[in-house]
Amino acid sequence: MGKSKTEIITFKVDEGLGEALKGIANRSEFIRSAVLNALDNTCPLCMGAGKLTVNQKNHWKAFTADHEVVECEECHELRLRCANKRQGGKRRPR
């Protein structure tokens, strides 16, 4: 199997971030790991933008007709729950 190709990407940082990164032994690996972690935890709708487009908002509005945002009783994080299902996963009769 051949080696996968790599691409070099550079970016500017302010003085404070540059100083903080100086103490990291393998900055490239640290930055790669941070970027992959951020991508893995990015909102699937806005892709990290922090806001929805008009079309995404319309899709969200349609989705929330049958779903709701609720607090998890165990971990207290917000989650989506299908409004057509009762607690325990059994469907409500229609």
- Residues 8-54 pLDDT 10s: 999 999 999 999 999 999 999 999 999 999 888 888 888 888 899 99
pLDDT at 77: 94
**pTM of the predicted structure, to 2 decimals:** 0.54
Determine, yes or no, domain membership for 68.
yes
Contact 44, 52 (CB under 8 A): no
- Mean pLDDT for all residues in the chain: 86
b/e 9-43 (16+ beta carbons within 10 angstroms → b): eeeeeeeeeeeeeeeeeeeeeeeeeeeeeeeeeee
Determine, yes or no, domain membership for 5.
no
φ, ψ for residue 78, nearest 5 deg: -75, 145
Determine, yes or no, domain membership for 52.
yes
Determine, yes or no, domain membership for 1.
no
Average pLDDT over residues 57-71: 93
Range of the domain at 68: 15-82
Q: Which DSSP letter does residue 85 get?
A: B
Number of domains in the chain: 1
